[in-house]
Amino acid sequence: MRLGFSLSPNMILGKPQQTKSAELLAYYGGASGFLHELKDQGITSIEIRYMIREMEEEAGERIVHQLWDAGLEVTVHGHVDGEFAGAEFGDVYPPLKEMLKAYNKHQKEIVMPIHAFAAPSGDRGELARRTVALFREWSSIVATGNLPVIFAIELNRAKASAIDPGDTCEGVIEMVDAVQSPNAGITWDMGHYYSNKLVEAHAAGDLTTERAYEQLPPPAFIERTVHTHIHGLGEKGTHCPLSERQSLPLESYVKALKKRGYRGVYNLELDFSRFPENDSLSKHVFSSIERLRNCVADTETAAI
Question: Which is nearest to 291 in space by CA: 245, 235, 229, 256?
Answer: 245
Average pLDDT of the segment spanning 25-36: 96
| Percent of the chain residues past pLDDT 70, beyond the cut | 98
Residue 207 has pLDDT above 90, yes or no: no
Number of domains in the chain: 1
Q: Check if the beta carbon of residue 236 is closer than 8 Å to that of residue 274.
A: yes
**What pLDDT, on a 0 to 100 scale, did the predictor assign at position 208?**
78
Question: What is the rounded distance in angstroms from the CA atom of residue 248 to the CA atom of residue 232?
Answer: 5
What tens digit of pLDDT does each residue of 226-261 get? Answer: 999 999 999 999 999 999 999 999 999 999 999 999
CB within 8 A of 125, min separation 6: which ones?
165
* Packing angle, helices 169-179 and 124-144, rounded to 10: 40
Q: Check if the beta carbon of residue 79 is closer than 8 Å to that of residue 115.
A: yes
Q: Check if the beta carbon of residue 74 is closer than 8 Å to that of residue 68.
A: yes
Q: Is the dihedral of CA 119, 124, 198, 223 positive or negative?
A: negative
**What pLDDT, on a 0 to 100 scale, did the predictor assign at position 124?**
98
Length of the chain: 304
**What pLDDT, on a 0 to 100 scale, did the predictor assign at position 301?**
64
Average pLDDT of the chain, as a whole number: 96
Question: What is the rounded distance in angstroms from the CA atom of residue 124 to the CA atom of residue 302?
Answer: 42
User: Which CATH number covers residue 250?
Assistant: 3.20.20.150
Boundaries of domain holding 251: 3-303
Strands 149-154 vs 266-268: parallel, antiparallel or unpaired: unpaired
